[in-house]
Structure 1
Amino acid sequence: MASLHKRALAGLAILFLVMAFLLFGAAGTLRYWQGWAFLACYFAASIAITFYLVWKDPALLARRMRGGPFAEEEPAQRVIMSLASLGFIALIVLPGLDHRLGWSHVPPAAVVAGNLLVLLGWLGIFVVFRENSFSSARIELAADQRVISTGPYAWVRHPMYAMALLMLLGMPIALGSWWGVLIVVAIVPALVWRLIDEERFLARNLPGYSEYRDRVRYRLLPGIW
């Protein structure tokens, strides 16, 4: 567990450095309070959830650490995750450029609201982790995996994607960029492609998933889709 703990924190430290480099490099300055506030919120939540998983569910943490385009076995999923990774980078770089060039004028209250959306997204992801210990970062089945239909899964079939989308929407607003919201719009098709492909995989390989899919009609938004 100690090794997992160290690897998880090292991964977060590297991610912080990369995100900070992209963000402040694009902004051309460290005098970017929106950037510092966002990083504080994003990584405070990340660290808190990491410590929780180290304590309560190290197997889930290990699964979450095996994500990324090259971790996927299916070629389509490698393409999807590559697009999603590029989209995430753009969500960091474009707001930094926006700050440098002064394209957007986002009031401080909206910036605070954006950070609250980021934190709310993390809170929702935490609830998903507590409910579903099988929520891997890649499309796969654990040896003892079963269908989870309680908690947020009683409302929508993909609550983690819903919460991730909420977080992504909050990111450019937290960083003071209205233009960055367009990147979120561009990411949505990749997210939809991924979850539909994941549903096909689960229906083929996870006993009971087809019946669950018939019972819970909505994928992301109750009453809508």
Structure 2
Amino acid sequence: MQGTQQQKPAWVWTRGRIIKLFTAIALYPLCLCGVSGRWSWPQAWFIIFDQLLLYTLTAVYISRHNPSLLPERERFIRNAGTAGFDKVLAPAVVALALPMYLAAGLQQRWHAALLPATPAWQLAAAAVLHVLTVLLACWAMTTNKFFSSVVRIQTDRGHVVCDSGPYAYVRHPAYIAVVVQTLAEALLLQSSWLLWIGAARAAVLAARTAAEDAMLQQQLPGYAAYAARVKYRWLPLVY
């Protein structure tokens, strides 16, 4: 999407943002390694470093090139004009994220109904898939100047349709990235519990996608024409 001219603040890495970053850095190991009791768990550390590294680099890029997006995302459902359905669905997506990793950690600790041992080549494929899906989500964030954490028409930020980058191929690339990323994590961690909670999260994302897409087609100028041109929401030829 193209945006209006934005002023770059002198210092975007405020104390609050730095605290949130280090909280996230602590939470991942605690949920996976701490809960499982396995501090030498290579797959868990791979997931932790992959996400933290790529998302931190993305945040740095956004802070330099689209700084007004940071407060937009931080306000979450407190944003004026947040769609009614997203006051329920957006918190649900967030609320299901932490339990996925807690469940994976507990399942490892209790050795309860783990997925079958994954051959090395499948682990490698899952690791590559994880990197690619996180990169896809980061690509969407850095391409779309209006990548809010909630569904709303951002008239205060000059909201227009984004049809470049991954949006040239599907209308909601970050959602499918999250869904496939969860599948890769379940394989890497051998966690059926993570898979089931991830499936519930994917269902919420599918409902959110449908509601968001319908709203955008009705309220965002140019989106209906974009949807007619880019026909699929998540995966070409599938959905």
User: How does the TM-score come out when normalised to structure 1?
Assistant: 0.86
1:143-175 CA deviation, whole Å, 9 max, x = no partner? 311112233222211112122222222222233
Partner of 1:208: 222
Give the distance between the partners of 1:191 and 1:62, measured in 2 at CA: 23
Contact 2:133 2:181 in 1 (8 A): yes
Match among 87, 97, 100 for residue 78 of structure 1 = 87
Contact 1:118 1:167 in 2 (8 A): yes
Structure with more helix by fraction: 1
- Indicate how the Cα distance of structure 1 residues 168 and 3 shifts in structure 2: closer, same or farther if over 3 A, else same: farther
Contact 1:173 1:180 in 2 (8 A): no
Is the partner of 2:75 in helix, strand or coil?
Answer: coil
Q: Which runs of 4+ in 1 moved over 6 A?
A: none
Match among 165, 183, 188 for residue 169 of structure 1 = 183
Indicate yes or no: 2:130 matched with 1:130: no
Contact 2:100 2:193 in 1 (8 A): no
Match among 153, 156, 161 for residue 141 of structure 1 = 153
Contact 1:38 1:175 in 2 (8 A): no
1:46-61 paired onto structure 2 within 5 Å: 46-61=55-70
Give the distance between the partners of 2:124 and 2:191, measured in 1 at CA: 13
1:24-173 paired onto structure 2 within 5 Å: 24-67=33-76, 73-102=82-111, 103-104=114-115, 105-143=117-155, 144-173=158-187
- Indicate how the Cα distance of structure 1 residues 112 and 161 shifts in structure 2: closer, same or farther if over 3 A, else same: same
Give the distance between the partners of 2:203 and 2:37, measured in 1 at CA: 31
Partner of 1:219: 233
Contact 1:162 1:220 in 2 (8 A): yes
Contact 2:123 2:188 in 1 (8 A): yes
Give the distance between the partners of 1:142 and 1:177, measured in 2 at CA: 39
Unaligned segments of structure 1, at least 5 residues: none
Identity %: 25
Partner of 2:12: 4
Indicate yes or no: 2:33 matched with 1:21: no
Give the distance between the partners of 1:108 and 1:65, measured in 2 at CA: 39
Give the distance between the partners of 1:110 and 1:70, measured in 2 at CA: 42
Shift of 1:43: 0.7
Is the partner of 1:180 in helix, strand or coil?
Answer: helix
Shift of 1:3: 4.2
- C-alpha RMSD of matched pairs (Å): 2.4
1:173-201 CA deviation, whole Å, 9 max, x = no partner? 23332442232222221001111111222
Unaligned segments of structure 2, at least 5 residues: 1-8
How many residues are treated as equivalent by the alignment?
Answer: 224
Give the distance between the partners of 2:120 and 2:103, measured in 1 at CA: 19
Contact 1:66 1:138 in 2 (8 A): no
Contact 1:4 1:62 in 2 (8 A): no
Shift of 1:75: 4.2
Give the distance between the partners of 2:131 and 2:109, measured in 1 at CA: 25
Contact 2:58 2:142 in 1 (8 A): no
In structure 1, give the amino acid aligned to 2:73: R
In structure 2, give the amino acid aligned to 1:78: K
Match among 185, 204, 209 for residue 190 of structure 1 = 204
Out of 206-215 and 170-179, give the one that drifted further: 170-179
